[in-house]
């Protein structure tokens, strides 16, 4: 897993972060599909990206470094303890809002959820995705689900 390395990078850059805070940040690396388990232990996991083929091993191997570079480019200083998480969240949300462009992945995600709901007669579910996919912009996953009559309540973390 890359979270150990990611944690080391975070601690080296912002040594005032507690182990718990670093743990929270490392959960933003959703590639392992386990970031929800601390809150929703009993949920079935449905892989939305199960058919993705455009990811190569090198991309996966460098994911933690790339994620760290994004955080490091936030402009937060090594001693910027006051309001750290608020500033970091604002920076990340700004990136995501500016880059929210629908892709075929949004349609695949929505279709995967719709099929799972139909096959398993679900009355509710929890979806953990990046905020771009949870956007209500035209053709994003959330938008597509709402167009099919699903109620989507979004909580950005």
- Tens of pLDDT, residue by residue over 93-112, are 777 666 667 788 899 999 99
Q: How far apart are CA 115 and CA 112, in angstroms?
A: 5
- To the question of pTM greater than 0.85 for the whole model, the response is no
Q: What per-residue confidence (pLDDT) applies to 42?
A: 79
Mean pLDDT over 69-83 rounds to 83
Tokens of 21: 């805070």
Largest distance between two CA atoms of the chain: 51
Are the CB atoms for 96 and 131 separated by under 8 Å? yes
């Amino acid at each position: 897993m890359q979270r150990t390395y990611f944690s080391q990078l975070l601690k080296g850059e912002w040594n005032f972060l507690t182990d718990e805070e670093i743990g929270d940040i490392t959960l933003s690396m959703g590639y392992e599909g386990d970031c929800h388990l601390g809150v929703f232990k009993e949920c079935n996991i449905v892989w939305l990206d199960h058919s993705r083929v455009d990811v190569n091993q090198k991309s996966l191997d460098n994911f933690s470094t790339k994620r760290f570079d994004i955080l490091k480019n936030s402009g937060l200083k090594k001693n910027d303890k006051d309001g750290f998480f608020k500033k970091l969240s604002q920076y990340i949300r700004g990136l995501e809002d500016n880059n929210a462009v629908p892709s075929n992945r949004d349609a695949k995600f929505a279709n995967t959820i719709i099929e799972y709901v139909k096959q398993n007669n679900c009355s509710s579910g929890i979806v953990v995705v990046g905020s771009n996919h949870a956007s209500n912009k035209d053709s994003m996953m959330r938008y597509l689900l709402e167009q099919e009559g699903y109620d989507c309540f979004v909580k950005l973390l």
